[in-house]
Amino acid sequence: DTAVSQTPKYLVTQMGNDKSIKCEQNLGHDTMYWYKQDSKKFLKIMFSYNNKELIINETVPNRFSPKSPDKAHLNLHINSLELGDSAVYFCASSSPPRGRNTGELFFGEGSRLTVL
Amino acid sequence: GQNIDQPTEMTATEGAIVQINCTYQTSGFNGLFWYQQHAGEAPTFLSYNVLDGLEEKGRFSSFLSRSKGYSYLLLKELQMKDSASYLCAVVDSNYQLIWGAGTKLIIKP
């Protein structure tokens, strides 16, 4: 069973298009995240959702919109794609640190977006 | 501002030992993570330190000094499969994760 799964794994599209990436976790975690990793390999937080409430939105253009239908899903919708949006997008989930749980993030396999 | 520094790239020999350093300046501290990321794959959890000292887990150990804002990841008996990027991340006072840019470790035979 895959703990955090995201689809599609690869996405090639033209500038100006709209696309979505889906993410699901079966770990029962309270918080889900979207990260962007660019060619320099720097992981940048985009959004996180805790029990369907947005709790982080780090200077991300409003062309990006997260949608969480329930605690186990956090989808990423991108409007009017630009060349600079090309990157790998990682979904992740975690639960609060408690006892032996360190609160570490569990990542999906990543979705490589290429905008032409 | 908040800052995490780690070397961009390191090279080591199979069977040897390597130490990857991480220094941080953050608004508060609630723990430090090390993650491993192989090329084209997702980051995976390696270790977590919240108290000073050394945490050992098999061939990997992680050390923390909160007073110095410093951590290192020690990898022993290096194997070719250890070639990867190693990411340091600090939990700040708001429980937000601040990520370093990662250290690319190249293992040579």
The answer, for A56 touching chain B at a CB cutoff of 8 Å, is yes
CB spacing of A104 vs B102 below 8 angstroms: no
> What's the pLDDT tens digit per position in A60-93?
998 999 998 888 999 999 999 999 999 999 999 9
Q: What are phi and psi of B59, to 5 degrees?
A: -80, -10
The answer, for B91 touching chain A at a CB cutoff of 8 Å, is yes
CA distance A11 to chain B (A): 15
Token match 């969480």: residue?
A68
Q: Which of A40, A64, A68 is nearest to A54 (CA)?
A: A68
pLDDT of B95 reads: 85
- Tens-digit pLDDT profile for chain A (116 aa)? 679 999 999 999 999 999 999 999 999 998 999 999 988 778 899 998 987 678 777 689 989 999 988 889 999 999 999 999 999 999 999 988 777 778 899 999 999 999 99
CA distance A76 to chain B (A): 18
Q: Which of A111, A71, A66 is nearest to A94 (CA)?
A: A71
- Which residue from A45, A56, A108 is facing B42, i.e. has the nearest CB? A108
The answer, for A105 touching chain B at a CB cutoff of 8 Å, is yes
Q: What gap in Å lies between CA A82 and CA A107, rounded to an integer?
A: 25
Task: Tell me the average confidence (pLDDT) per consecutive run of 10 residues in chain B, 109 residues long.
Answer: 93 98 95 96 96 95 97 98 97 90 96
pLDDT of A8 reads: 97
> What's the pLDDT tens digit per position in B40-65?
999 999 999 999 999 999 999 999 99
The answer, for A38 touching chain B at a CB cutoff of 8 Å, is no
Q: What gap in Å lies between CA A78 and CA A17, rounded to an integer?
A: 8
Q: What gap in Å lies between CA A74 and CA A64, rounded to an integer?
A: 13
CB spacing of A103 vs B44 below 8 angstroms: no
